[in-house]
Amino acid sequence: MELHAESRNVAMTPRWRSEIERRMEDLNAGHEDILHGRVTLTKNKHHKKIKNVAEALVVVTLPGRHTFTARKGDKTFEEAIRTAFAAVEIELRKYREKRASKEVRLPPIPLRGVICKLFPQEGYGFILQEGGGEVYFHKNALHGLKFEELEDGLEVAFNVEAGEKGPQATTVNPVPAVAP
């Protein structure tokens, strides 16, 4: 990790620099994903009008151009550093939790079956699965098929999930043609 610590309108003290380095190491501990960190301490020249004289800007960059920034002001640089790092830590934690919780969802493998019962007036029917058992489907689950053109015995591919009264097809597609 590359770290730049600088100050404006005030000399950087060894104590502030070591505090910045320690806090940056704490941010990176256990993850080792921070590419670059930059901390700028600024003494506000117009301190008579503004209550917070010390300002700390913390910028952290992760892979994929993800940048997290916090600018905090306080009466002392120690407090400004602490609050700025605390704000960046919260954002980093949220980002890391979200990134860690991403599930890789593969599309379900379609099942095969044949249409065995149709109820044209009501707009639904049933599919007989290859292994046995009937699966309900509604006309809204059809993709690439028209409900009015369905016939008993038509082979279909479908995805299924648990419905209120048993298995229900979420999508019903025509069986892809096999090249000779």
> pLDDT digits over 87-103, tens only?
999 999 999 888 877 66
Say if residue 157's pLDDT is above 60.
yes
Digit-coded pLDDT (tens) for 56-74: 999 999 998 899 999 999 9
pLDDT at residue number 46:
66
Specify the pLDDT at position 47. Answer: 53
pLDDT digits (tens, 9 = 90+) for 99-141: 877 667 777 788 899 999 999 899 999 999 988 889 999 999 9
pLDDT-above-70 percentage for the chain: 92
Q: Report d(CA 117, CA 101) in Å as an integer.
A: 42
Question: What does the pLDDT read at residue 180?
Answer: 63
pTM of the model: 0.56
Q: Please report which confidence band the pLDDT of residue 1 belongs to, taking 50, 70 and 90 as the band edges.
A: confident
Residue of 112, 92, 94 lying closest to 159 (CA atoms): 112
In sequence order, which residues have a C-beta less than 8 Å from that of residue 29 and are 6 or more positions away? none
pLDDT at 48: 58
CA distance 171 to 160: 7
Average pLDDT along the chain: 89
Strand bridging mode 124-129 / 134-138: antiparallel
Percentage of the residues of the chain whose pLDDT score is greater than 90:
65
Domains of the chain: 2-100 (3.30.160.100), 111-174 (2.40.50.140)
Helices (H), the chain: 14-28, 77-100
